[in-house]
Structure 1
Amino acid sequence: MHLQLISFVLIILHCMDYTGCQQHSSSRHRQHKLISGVSSGCQQGGCLTCSDYNGCLSCKPRFFMHLERIGMKQIGVCLTSCPLGFYGTRSPERNTCTKCRVECDSCFNKNFCTRCRAGFYLHLGKCQENCPEGLVRSDTQRECVPGCPADCESCVNSETCTRCQPHLYQLNGRCHHICPEDYEPNDKLMECTPQVHCEVGEWSEWSPCSRSGRTCGFKRGQETRTRQVLQYPSPFGKPCPEISEIKECLVKRRKCPGGRKKNERRERRNRNNRKDKDNPEGRRERKREKERERDTGENDNPDNTNKTEHRHRRGHETEPVSPDDGLVQ
């Protein structure tokens, strides 16, 4: 009985020693695995220890531990410098990358931003939505900068003028001494406005050959054609070209219709003018000739003929009598 008890104690002690060895062996194996860097998560040269699931667990000296999120999982990465939006902090235990404030795009430390996110403007290391008095916002630099440029009287920001200094012309938020090409100065608005060039339409057909307003009774004359102005130019725009043209022309000489009658009437008028104006008989003769000319144009109308005869009778009745007609020889 005593021997059986001793054997049982020895068996228990042996088993305990075997279990402890297994545990110690397993711990040494895990430690060797973390340090050796044979895990797939320790492919970077900066890792000191790592795991298959979490990547780097510690970094070599002068490296910063940075946690990268992949979905719901965070992976440790060892970097020589922190990425944009993070700043590095060093300590004897470990070097880490810490995220900047939400309004900072990049920062030097927790309280000093070096660049702001869109909608914020940097001033003395702080990112703020509005700039202090005397400073204006610069959207390109995302900073608070001194007020309007020297050429501006008023501005929206350091890059956009709304009114320029006297004798300067505003264009697209900038002030110009001389307007750019294709623009011209507007002294009333003090702005550079686009130049407007002249535009004309198509030529008309050539007019009939004429001379002194007549289209007959000559051999040499002129023809003309014109075109309309569709857009008049601005003061500095391209001027309009010629809008009318004249060229010489030749026609077969022909007499104008009714030309002989006009000549006969002209000759009669000349004869009448040569007669003595003081002679009553000459005046009566000229009056009768005028009536005959008028009657010639009215012969085709019977009503006009009756009116002409009536005028003749009335003219003879009212004709003045010479003082000599009453004397008896």
Structure 2
Amino acid sequence: MQLQLISFVLIFSHCMDYTGGQPNSSSRHRQHKLMTGASSACQQSGCLTCSDYNGCLSCRPRLFMHLERIGMKQIGVCMTSCPPGFHGNRSPERSTCTKCRSECDSCFTKNFCTRCRTGFYLHLGKCQESCPDGMVHSDAQRECVPGCPAECESCVNSESCTRCRPGLYQLSGRCYHVCPDDYEPNEELMECTPQVHCEVGEWSEWSPCSKSGRTCGFKRGQETRTRQVLQYPSPFGKPCPDISEIKECLVKRRKCPGRRKTERNGRRSRNNRKDKESQEVRRERKRERERDRDVGEREDSDNRNKTEHRHRRGHNTETVSPEDRPVQ
């Protein structure tokens, strides 16, 4: 409509410049400025006709006329395809760019959107603020897509699950039967959590060469070194390596200071123990002999008493006369 109005004004002005059917000098000058189809400026911009003030008035075949607003005026531009937010209308007379609906970012026709602006979601060619039942919105595609994926029990949209079906593990909005590399299943949370690998510190210095806790009195011994665990691994993480090492060592044999005195003290201590043990044995044997002697003396005393008692009974029987015996 705006293009038609501009064309009408230009034609009307051109007609008003004629007097008595003959153009004057000013009208010929304006006509020269309007009809510049052969000029290099029109050829470079794709215009069929153009104006210094309004730009292209008509376009060459297969090009679209697009009106660009610059301040308060509009400039005609000929383009091979319409810019974003516009769709092309072709007709035998002219091909023009028509603006899409306000919620469309791009469209095929005015009533059929192909991509929506932020905050709207495409469904069957229309941009809507909310999706119909059974569908969820995709922020990346700005479209309404089918509901939660099959492995989801609940979701924010088609790309992000909030809870997985039983037996599946959740990670970053997705559900897995087996956790990806560097992750391990957490049975309590039913999530894939990062694996934690063992970390150890630096080795200590080698210890002095020793044998059975001694550092002298031998020729061949052992040296040891250790390192600390800085981070213990998770159940599926890399286990800790050895934290101690032992290696054989060879030293020049030397006597331990005070060893003879220690050995003498040891022998003396052993002898004292033996003496104490011998004394205890002797005491016990003496006590046994004394017990045996006491038992023997008691037995002898009992035997003597029994013998005296028998002798005493026999003596009494012989001294009684027949007449003194009681009559039966």
Normalising by structure 2, what TM-score?
A: 0.69
- What's the CA shift for 1:23? 3.6
RMSD: 3.2
Secondary structure of the equivalent of 2:272? helix
Distance 1:230 1:267 in 2: 53
Identity of aligned residues (%): 75
Which stretch has the larger CA shift, 51-60 or 98-107? Answer: 51-60
User: Is 1:102–2:96 an aligned residue pair?
Assistant: no
User: Is 1:252–2:254 an aligned residue pair?
Assistant: yes
User: Is 1:228–2:257 an aligned residue pair?
Assistant: no
CA contact (8 A) 2:154 2:161 kept: yes
Pairs within 5 Å for 1:142-221: 142-214=142-214, 220-221=220-221
Query: What residue in structure 2 maps to residue 263 of structure 1?
Result: 267
Secondary structure of the equivalent of 2:268? helix
Q: Find the structure with the greater CA-based Rg.
A: 2
- What's the CA shift for 1:232? 0.6
- What's the CA shift for 1:34? 3.3
Distance 1:30 1:164 in 2: 75
- What's the CA shift for 1:274? 3.8
Pairs within 5 Å for 1:11-90: 20=20, 23-24=23-24, 26-27=26-27, 30-31=30-31, 34-38=34-38, 41-44=41-44, 46-60=46-60, 62-90=62-90
Query: What residue in structure 1 maps to residue 135 of structure 2?
Result: 135
Distance 1:208 1:92 in 2: 102
Distance 1:19 1:204 in 2: 111
Structure 1 pair 243/80, CA: closer, same or farther in 2 (3 Å)? closer
Query: What residue in structure 1 maps to residue 123 of structure 2?
Result: 123
**5+ long unaligned stretches in structure 2:** 1-17, 288-293, 295-328
Paired residue total:
267
- What's the CA shift for 1:116? 0.8
- What's the CA shift for 1:233? 0.9
Query: What code does the residue aligned with 1:98 have?
Result: T
Distance 2:54 2:221 in 1: 104
- What's the CA shift for 1:234? 1.2
Which stretch has the larger CA shift, 98-107 or 243-252? Answer: 243-252
Distance 2:205 2:79 in 1: 84
Structure 1 pair 110/221, CA: closer, same or farther in 2 (3 Å)? same
CA contact (8 A) 1:39 1:50 kept: no
Structure 1 pair 116/260, CA: closer, same or farther in 2 (3 Å)? same
Structure 1 pair 222/271, CA: closer, same or farther in 2 (3 Å)? farther
Structure 1 pair 112/266, CA: closer, same or farther in 2 (3 Å)? same
Query: What code does the residue aligned with 1:42 have?
Result: C
Query: What code does the residue aligned with 1:252 have?
Result: R
- What's the CA shift for 1:24? 4.9
- What's the CA shift for 1:102? 1.8
Which whole-Å deviations, capped at 9, do the CAs of 1:105-161 have from their partners, x for residues lacking one?
111222211111122210111112222221111122110100122222222211112
Query: What code does the residue aligned with 1:263 have?
Result: R
Distance 1:94 1:242 in 2: 84
User: Is 1:279–2:283 an aligned residue pair?
Assistant: yes
Secondary structure of the equivalent of 1:279? helix
Which stretch has the larger CA shift, 105-114 or 38-47? Answer: 38-47
Structure 1 pair 117/276, CA: closer, same or farther in 2 (3 Å)? closer
